[in-house]
Structure 1
Amino acid sequence: MKRLQKRWIITGVLGLAACLSAGIEPVAAESAAHAVRSVKTAPDVPRVIALGKRESASPSETGSVIPAVKEIRNVRLEWPERPGAVQYQVVLLRSENDEAANIVLTRDAVFTNGVDINLSRFGKAAGGFYWKVCAQDYEGRPLGHFSKPKPITEGSTLNPEAPKPTTQFERMDYVPVYPVFSWIPVDGAKHHEVEVYRENDWGDSLVHRLSAEEYDVYEMGGYTTPGRYFWRVRSLDETGNPISGWSEKSRFTVTSPVPVAALGDSITHGGGAMSVPPGYLLYDWETYSPVPVKNIGFSGNTTEDMIERFERDVLPFSPRILVIMGGVNDYRGTVNGWTTVQHLKTLRDKCDAYGIIPVFATVTPINPDLMARRAHIEAPPLDWQVHQQYINDWIMRQTYCVDVSTMLADGTGCLRSNYTTDGLHPDYFGKKYIGERIGQYLLRTFPWITAGLVKKPVPVFGQ
């Protein structure tokens, strides 16, 4: 269970695992000012629960050969992400005949929507293989049916020489201040190295070099300087030696000012279903807001952390509206509701001082049973609901406020089990509700600001 226990569930607290892999080596002056923050109120907890990784081949490893197909040493298969999927199972078939006796290889516990498989032992026979994939939940139960088998040469990359970036920054309204870089690793990779560059007219300058593990790495040095950037990744073996080339460049742009931004913890930062990082659109509530919102979330933040980074992370973007949603890491830890409210008041005062309109969103509920059973997250105090309610009562008395928590709770006040996998982070339906609710409130309340803002298309998932 080691491999996955290092990944995501919260890196320090609410988290989508902000510090999961991470040694950061700033190598440019503009990154020196970014302080590495520490979470004060909750223990380090891995983001993903280890379910193991298995690969099995049938006794007979032969198959038909398709002429004119070049020798296949490796194949990278990709498919659309599925809401609620924690993992995927990939099956290779000798031919289009979809039956158990025709299975040549099965790859289980794939924790991203793509996989690199070594087929060199099959020789030229691999050219005639077909493949199919099925999304699975935390327990390994299928979410629907397998896809229809397709030739190994369809929906794939033959003999890939580098990892495949999977971040979706180009489809977001704005790149997050704290991006999470993710990829499909090459077969056999144990570690990864990520480099981030700023593009200049006179050449590219290295900003950060990050040490990562298998699938992703959380950036702890925020990007607040406007400009054009790109990142790339390569795979390493157990001893840290490269086993692949560098990936293609994956670009993103930092712009300022922005009309609307959101300050928060991992609920704002994004990610969900225990294995999907914030670099995807699927579990970011900003995706579903009809108003474009700049993501200034940081996984694991308490409200005190949000105060500490206000000037550094918020002011460079000069937002006219700032959505503030924090407190879950407070009340599930050691911070009482009264103290959290004092912190929120400080954030309100900072907004007033800088001419920013604060919009408070209620703090979301949790599901302690799922947190303990699935995510192995430390149990919250028995009176956590008292503190959560105290915070939300104050929020709902503010001039600008929106309730996103009531509809996420079941009859006992806990986060609905069908809205979460790990008990802490809302998944697809929860994030979609939060984004739509906040966005509609902004449209209705601030038409003089939101009218005319251009929103990128909202994707449709699960079809």
Structure 2
Amino acid sequence: MIGTLCLAAGLLAETTAMAATTNQTNKRVIQKTAQSPRVIAFGRNDEKTSPAKTVEEKQVKPLAMKIGKIRLTWPERPSAVQYQVVVLRSEQDVEANIALAKEQIFTNGVDLDLSRFGEDAGKFYWKVCALDYNGNPIGHFSKPQPILEGSELNPIAPKPTTQFEQMDYAPVYPVYSWIPTEGAKHHEVQVYRTSPDGDTLVHSLRAGTYDVYEDGGYTTPGKYYWRVRAVDAYGFAISEWSGRKYFTVTAPTPIAALGDSITHGGGAMSVPPGYLLYDWETYSSVPVKNIGFSGNTTGDMLERFERDVLPFSPRVLVIMGGVNDYRAGTNGWHIVQNLKAIKEKCDAYGIIPVFLTPTPINPTLMVKRAHIDQPPYDWKTHQDYVNDWVMQQTYHLDIASMLSDSSGWLNASYTTDGLHPDYFGKKYIGEQVGLYLKQHFPWVTNTLTKKPVPQYMGH
């Protein structure tokens, strides 16, 4: 916006996203260096990116009051790898008025300790800016708003950020995410199943700073919830438990999708699949059950077919796999044999398979940004072999071509880490799948109800 000046100093710290690697199938890892980016903007602001009011919708007039810790939240922004928050001493948006600036925030919220400012903190304002991989601002800073407006004072537990309740179906393999308690690096997650006779603990998970990937699939119908708390390095609690976040497992689900991390979700290196933003199922015009599992090869998909697919009795199964095979050196012929075996299982159980061409990769970005092993020089040959087979199937959809650049690589404008398509890529996949399913299986899709598709800032 005219009149806005952004001063950038430093580069974005190295980040890694290893969720789709074969050896690390249940987590993303964000590695940070000591050097922090700094992007401070003054002057006019973009009204559209104003942080959401998360606690109260009414205006809160800034008062002189002593604030200890405070939690700020805002809507997630497509393509954002991290965020920067700036706290101002008053509404005046000038550099001399900065009380605090915090960078390398890898989720859409942050806890800040303002106790050292005493009663002055009650009159502070704050703003936030989304940053890309290189530490460059995406759009502009939000309009400064009072620190007490829409914030949470003295939070005692992490804040869950998953959006399962907005999804058409809960994923078979949930990924739990949260805004961490200020200063916490380790967390514990508990998952419960509810019943009239009481809640039953399913299991506990040890987690890092922001999220944890579920390694046990949920195929038994019922109502579940999860909660999280911060713990120290020895597992002792340093916060209260968060509020409960519920998800429901239902069956049957007429349409489902079997795949790897491209189907599972997540993107821009730091956003896990618990968000709608980077799940292609979000953008399908018909509801699709997510049976993706990050890091899966086609062999893994074949192995878990009976365990993860059959409980939901789908009439139509969307199948996309192979990227984790050919980027690791698996021969295209072997990949096709696994896909053929999956097709045979579908035929045996009366399921209609719809095959998608597996997405391409961008080796340069994979190695440079995500520190993923260099794929073999002939990976494209094996992807082409798989795609040729897919295009010969009765029901098939080519989504790889539209995501490719002139060299056949994953277009850099569609990805941050070179492996996972981000917002525009996932949106394209979901829209094309939904359109295809409506055209070919109206006898299934006409009976289904789709939840609203979210609209994101600037898109």
Residue 10 of structure 1 aligns with which residue? 19
Q: Which amino acid aligns with 1:367?
A: N
**CA distance in structure 2 between the aligned counterparts of 1:158 and 1:55, rounded to whole angstroms:** 27
Structure 1 position 241, deviation (Å) = 2.1
Q: Which has the higher contact order (CA 8 A, sep 6+)?
A: 1
Residue 48 of structure 1 aligns with which residue? 30
Residue 342 of structure 2 aligns with which residue? 347
Residue 242 of structure 1 aligns with which residue? 237
Contact 2:21 2:372 survives alignment (8 Å): no
Q: Which amino acid aligns with 1:386?
A: T
SS in 1 for 2:194: strand
Structure 1 position 219, deviation (Å) = 0.3
Q: Give the gaps of 5 or more residues in structure 1.
A: 21-45, 57-65
Q: 5 Å matches for 1:25-424? A: 47-52=29-34, 70-424=65-419
Residue 55 of structure 2 aligns with which residue? none
Aligned Cα root-mean-square deviation (Å): 1.8
**CA distance in structure 2 between the aligned counterparts of 1:5 and 1:293, rounded to whole angstroms:** 35
Taking structure 2 as the reference length, the TM-score comes to 0.90
**CA distance in structure 1 between the aligned counterparts of 2:388 and 2:377, rounded to whole angstroms:** 19
Q: 1:266 to 1:432 in 2, by over 3 A?
A: same
Contact 2:16 2:369 survives alignment (8 Å): no
SS in 2 for 1:200: coil
Contact 1:175 1:254 survives alignment (8 Å): yes
Structure 1 position 155, deviation (Å) = 2.6
Contact 1:173 1:455 survives alignment (8 Å): yes
**Bigger mean CA offset, 151-160 vs 289-298:** 151-160
Structure 1 position 69, deviation (Å) = 5.5
Task: Spell out, residue by residue over 1:367-407, the C-alpha distance to the aligned partner (whole angstroms, 9 max, x if none).
Answer: 00000110111011100000000000000000000011000
**CA distance in structure 1 between the aligned counterparts of 2:430 and 2:354, rounded to whole angstroms:** 14
Contact 1:54 1:107 survives alignment (8 Å): no
Q: Give the gaps of 5 or more residues in structure 2.
A: 1-12, 39-60
Taking structure 1 as the reference length, the TM-score comes to 0.89
SS in 2 for 1:252: strand
Q: Say whether 1:19 aligns with 2:26.
A: yes
Residue 430 of structure 2 aligns with which residue? 435
Contact 1:358 1:400 survives alignment (8 Å): yes
Task: Spell out, residue by residue over 1:104-151, the C-alpha distance to the aligned partner (whole angstroms, 9 max, x if none).
Answer: 100001000000011111111111110000000011100011000000
Residue 38 of structure 1 aligns with which residue? none
Contact 1:364 1:408 survives alignment (8 Å): yes
**CA distance in structure 1 between the aligned counterparts of 2:15 and 2:415, rounded to whole angstroms:** 20
Q: How many pairs align? A: 425
Contact 2:62 2:148 survives alignment (8 Å): no
Contact 1:262 1:293 survives alignment (8 Å): yes
**CA distance in structure 2 between the aligned counterparts of 1:110 and 1:67, rounded to whole angstroms:** 25
Q: 1:334 to 1:67 in 2, by over 3 A?
A: closer
**CA distance in structure 2 between the aligned counterparts of 1:380 and 1:139, rounded to whole angstroms:** 24
Identical positions, percent? 66
Structure 1 position 53, deviation (Å) = 7.5
Task: Spell out, residue by residue over 1:180-233, the C-alpha distance to the aligned partner (whole angstroms, 9 max, x if none).
Answer: 000000101120000000000010000010000100000000000000000000
**CA distance in structure 1 between the aligned counterparts of 2:233 and 2:36, rounded to whole angstroms:** 19
